[in-house]
Every structure is written in C-alpha cells, then in structure tokens.
Amino acid sequence: GLSIHAGQVIVADGTPEAAARLERVLTNDPGMGVLRHVDAGYERAVLHARATKVQIPIWPAETG
C-alpha cells in the first residue's frame, strides 16, 4: 500500500531541545497511525491502544 507520513525531519544534536522534539515526533507520529487504525475498527489496534493506554479522543469514556 501507499505510505502516508508527515515528512518530519529532526536533527538529533544531543541538546535537551532536540531530545524533546524527538520524543514528540516519535510518540505522536506513530500514535496517529494507531488512532487511524482504531478509527477504522481494527481489533488489534484497539487492543494495543487499550494495553498501552493510548488516549483516543474519539472513544466515549466508558469504552476507551
């Protein structure tokens, strides 16, 4: 299939600022993939999101 990505580029230069940027990108970009798969109804994604406590804003509080 085709890949959809943000084309994010981060320079890891060892500074605290770069570390914070890396953490955000490497958490949020894959997290959006999980969210898309949860929204599509893939059971494996739902189980993973629940097991790792990924916050899915489209879930009602009682099902997330």
Domain that holds residue 52: 30-56
Q: Is residue 6 assigned to a domain?
A: no
Q: Is residue 5 assigned to a domain?
A: no
Q: Is residue 11 assigned to a domain?
A: no
pLDDT at 27: 86
Instruction: Check: CB of residue 38 under 8 Å from CB of residue 50.
Output: no
Coil, helix or strand at residue 21: helix
Q: Is residue 7 assigned to a domain?
A: no
- Whether this prediction's pTM lies above 0.85 is answered by no
Q: Hunting for tokens 């929204």 — which residue is that?
A: 39
Q: Is residue 19 assigned to a domain?
A: no
Q: How many domains does the chain have?
A: 1
Mean pLDDT in order along the chain per 10 residues (64 residues): 72 94 87 89 93 83 54
